[in-house]
Every structure is written in C-alpha cells, then in structure tokens.
Chain A
Amino acid sequence: MSDVGLSDLPVTADLRKVLETPATSRPRHMVLNMGPQHPSTHGVLRIVIELDGEFIVKARSDIGFLHTGIEKQSEALTYQQVVTLTDRVDYLANLSNNLAYCLAVEKLLQLEIPPKAQWMRVMLVELTRLNSHLVWLGTHALDIGAMTVFLYCMREREDLLRIFEMFSGQRMMTSYIRVGGLALEPPRGWETLVDKFLGYFPSKVDEYDDLLRKNPIWMNRTQNIGQMDVDAMIAMGITGPMLRGAGVQTDVRRDEPYSSYDKFDFEIPTETANDVYARYRVRVREMRESVKIIRQAREGMPEGAYQAAAPQVVLPEREKMKSQMEALIYHFKIVSEGIRVPAGEVYHAIESPRGELGYYIVSDGTSKPLRLHMRTPSFGNLQALPQMIEGKLIADVVAILGSVDIVLGDVDR
C-alpha cells in the first residue's frame, strides 16, 4: 500500500519528511493525511500519520492554516481596539481572552478595578468555561460516536450564549471586558437569566455524566489511552485540565489569583489515571466547580461602579461628556489618540478553559503596543500530540485529539 495515491498528494516538507524516513522498519507502511478538512480535527489541522497496519508509527501535526496575524495586527491598533481581536483568538473562550489581555494592560497602567467589575468578570469567565467545556464535551463525544450528548450540550450552550448576548449584544465575539472594567453597565434582569441557568444546569451535568459513564463504548474508548509520562508532559509545556488529569495540582486561579479569585471557594479537581477518561472526569468536575463559583459571584455581587475611576483610560458617561468640559476633552483624547500606556513589559497569565493563557505586552509609552504575544494553551498542548498517539491504534487518534481540546484559532492566532 505504501505507494498508492501518494503521487496525488501535494508533497510538502512535512510529508516529505515522513516519506524520506529510511525504510528500516517494515516496508508496508502507509502514509495517511488526516485533515486539514477533517471533521474530527475541530478546525483546520493536518496530521500526517505513518501507519503500520492499524498502528501509528509516526505522526506529525501541521498547523498554521488559521494563522491570521493577530499579533501583527495588534501592533497597528490602539489598546482598546485590540480587545476585539482577542475575541477571535480562542473563539470558544472569548471572554477569557478579553480578561487576560485587559489584566495585562491594567497591570501596565497600574489600574485599580472596582470590586463589582472584578466579580462580574469572574462570573462571566466561568460562564465562558462552561460554554467551552460544553462544546468540548459535545464534539468529543460526537467524535467517539455518542451523538445525543452533542445535541444536549448545544441546547444548554444556547442559554449561555443568550446570557452573553444580553450582556454585550453579541453571542460569541463579546468584547465585553474592557481595559478599566466592563464595556457596559450589566443589563437589568441579568440575575434572572443567570439564576434560571444555575437552577437547571447542575442536573444537566449529571445527565451527561450518566449518559456517558453508563455507555460501555464510551468507557472502552476513553480508558487507558492517551497516557503520557507526567514529567514529559510538564517538559512539553502541557497545562490546564490535561495536566490536572495527570494528578498535578496546578491552576493559575489558585496559584496566582487574579480578579479576586482568592475570595471564592472552589476546588481544583485532579485525577490520577492520566488517560482520556481522566481528562473527561477533570473537565466534568470543573463544570460543577464553575457552577459553584458563578453562584457565589451571583449571590455576593458587590454594588458600585463597573468601571475604574480613571478618566484617562475609561470613556466618560455620555451625559457628562455633553455637560462637562473635562469629560469632553478626555473623551476626545481617548477616541482620537487612544490611551497612553507607560513604557514597560508585562506577562499576565490566567486559567483559560484549556490551560495557561498568557499575554505578554511590551509598551513603548505610546497608545499602541510595541509587541503583543499570546501564550495560548492550545499551541502548547497540541505540540505533545505525536507523543500521545505514536504506537497507538488509528481509531484512538480521534479520541486522544478530542481530549487535548484544541481550538485551532488558539493554536494559529
């Protein structure tokens, strides 16, 4: 089979590398091109797999199909404008990206954020975690053949998107968290929507868990596959639920609390089995913890301003702008020239649904970043994929890839 159809494939460097590997091993190896348009790659990822029968001898992932140059574009935009680009990095966890970026800029500005904005941010970011985990669970289960869970997850996700829409006017590209606080005053009646969601969602998580754990196919296809040595995982830069599924207690929310996460009571779920099933367990338990955090934020939501009292950074209220000279001047300066950020550099990391999400910003004192780099969790986690699938069956690739929980926008930026 080794030469069947190969001449029809575009021979890029990746493929060439696999093809030119000395055929010391058995000769009947087949090279399989999975992606870039493959439904199980969750976007546009290409994996070149060399097979011996049904076993994977060698694998390489080819990325970059979704590269949109967000880091380069950011250098040409003002600090407030960049917020809209951060939505598009990880489109399932847009608010997490908004938050990480804003926290980094606020650290440079040394800005104090009022408690209400901080708690609101925590609540929204945890809702985002649920949104992301729901999409992950649905598609992961769908890949392995459990169709029902996908439909259920999408049903609950719809309510989350409605909440985001209520807050920001947008379902996915929210840009609701801004430098200095939030974009808008939280809408009237948000409590009702969040309460309604909190009321029924925990029982839905039990439902998914029941559906999958009592399904022998799911259990057989997720247990004891995708393991990797814990030290190797750390050395490969894996973060987030994958590392916690290997028994490492690490979570940026706990280790370097930001946005008053230290005031919330929650657990960091870990599992020790370190297989696809353990990662599933970690994420399902995380959903329950997120519900706990959202409930605490909802019940203890402080009163007060939703934006920092920093006229150089935050746009003045419309009415003030019309009646007060100073407010008008600030408004004009912020809109026409942007906010000036003191020179310096900063790295701020948060725990996104996928792991450590960090923004590294270098400022030269102007209103546009000199350099903006995103340390995205999917990029770090995906790199270890070959180590997890080599030597395994081809049928397991989809299950293992699903357990990595990549978003290709997050990988390629």
Chain B
Amino acid sequence: MISEAVATHPIVVALQQESSSWLVSANIALGELTIEVEADRVAHVCRFLRDEKAFNRLSTVTAVDRYPVEPRFEVVYHLYSISLKRRVRVKARVVSENPELDSVIPVWPSANWYEREVFDLFGIRFRNHPEMTRILMPEGWEGHPLRKDYPVHGHRYDYAEPEGGNSL
C-alpha cells in the first residue's frame, strides 16, 4: 500500500523505477517517511539508497516484536543523509519461524554491532554477518529478552512468592 501522499515522493518514485517489486508500502506519518520493503531485498534497497540518494549514515538498526501477529518481527533501519539532512526509515517484516535477513554490513560497516544487538535481544539472524554472537547479554544466556513472550523479570526468576500470593 503506497499512500497517495507519498506516491510522488522522490525516494519512493526512484525506488519504484529501480524495481517495482521491492516496495511493499510507503507512508509519511508525523513528517517521517517510512518505506517497507521485501525482507529479501533489504540489502539491495539500502545499497540503492546509499549510492543514489546519499543516505551515507546508518543511524540505527532495531526490531519490533508484534507478537502474536504474523509475520511477527519488523526489522527497522534508520538512515540519515549528512549532506541532505534527511532521514528515512526502512522496514522489513520477518516471520517468527527461523527469522533471518541479509546483513547490511557491506553497505555500512556500522551495522555490525546493531545487527548483533538485534540478534541478541530478538533472535533474528543476519546472513553473512561475520560473527552472529551475543553482544549485550552474557554468552550462553537463554532466550532473547526483547521478545514479547520473554517476561520482564527474566526466566531465571528465583524469587519465591510469599504464601497466599502477593498482597498489595
């Protein structure tokens, strides 16, 4: 779904000219442009935006867990162009079973730690990443904390509830 307001946006037009199958949807909300692309095409779109649209910096990579909606995860890239002072948000949806995406390290080396963080906290793997290991949580940790089915107190919760339950 490409809303009318963004159909003429130069970035959207350029992406559609490059390949019409990349875009899933695009919209502008609160002055921010969001582009959703096919998960397999993220690396291509990022390369295109860097080379053709001067988005030379990757601000951050993160994910959103939409549990129990399927496809469950949204991987979100925030790009910034230093020369044009412009931002764009690129999104891709990933299914819950064996979530995997192409790494964008070849486009921006800074993606390295951000992708490790997404793997660590969400369990989404990035193909061709030089080391898909945990970065913030200890090695050998079970589970991925930022998933919605992971309790806030963690799984290793050895606090014994008082008899008769918690009374406020």
Contact = CB atoms under 8 A, between A and B. Distances in A.
Interface of A: 12-13, 17, 63-64, 67, 69, 71-73, 75-76, 107-108, 110, 232, 234-237, 239, 248, 250, 255-256, 344-347, 349, 356, 358, 360, 362, 370-371, 373, 375, 379-380, 383-384, 412-413
B43 interface: no
A85 B152 CA distance: 15
For the complex of A and B, the 7 pairs showing the least CB-CB separation, nearest first, are A237-B110, A375-B60, A64-B136, A373-B62, A67-B136, A255-B85, A371-B64
Contact of B110 (A73, A75, A236): A236
Given A75-B152, A237-B58, A370-B64, 6 more contacts: A13-B133, A13-B139, A235-B56, A358-B60, A375-B60, A379-B113
A63 B138 CA distance: 10
Contacts of A69: 145
A255 B58 CA distance: 17
Interface string B45-68: 000000000001111101011000
Interface string B64-103: 1100000000001010101001010100000000000000
A13 B132 CA distance: 12
A67 B138 CA distance: 10
B60 A360 contact: yes
B32 A235 contact: no
Nearest to A346: B30
B134 to A, nearest CB: 8
A110 to B, nearest CB: 7
Contacts of A232: 109
A346 B57 CA distance: 18
A123 to B, nearest CB: 25
A106 to B, nearest CB: 11
B87 to A, nearest CB: 7
Interface string B148-163: 0010100000000000
Interface of B: 29-30, 32, 34, 56-60, 62, 64-65, 76, 78, 80, 82, 85, 87, 89, 108-110, 112-113, 121, 131, 133-139, 145-146, 150, 152
Nearest to A107: B30
A64 B138 contact: yes
A36 to B, nearest CB: 12
A145 B64 CA distance: 45
A235 B135 contact: no
Contact of B137 (A67, A235, A384): A67
Contacts of A384: 110
Contacts of A64: 134-138
Given A64-B135, A237-B57, A383 B110 contact: yes
B57 A371 contact: no
B135 A63 contact: yes
A371 B146 CA distance: 9
Given A236-B109, A347-B32, A12 B139 contact: yes
Contacts of A67: 136-137
B109 A347 contact: no
Contacts of B152: 72-73, 75-76
A76 B135 CA distance: 23
A88 to B, nearest CB: 15
Contacts of B34: 345
B86 to A, nearest CB: 9
Given A72-B146, A108-B30, A347 B89 contact: yes
24 contacts: A12-B139, A17-B131, A63-B136, A64-B134, A64-B137, A67-B136, A73-B152, A75-B152, A110-B30, A234-B56, A234-B82, A235-B57, A236-B109, A237-B58, A256-B85, A347-B59, A347-B78, A347-B89, A360-B76, A362-B64, A371-B64, A375-B60, A375-B78, A383-B112
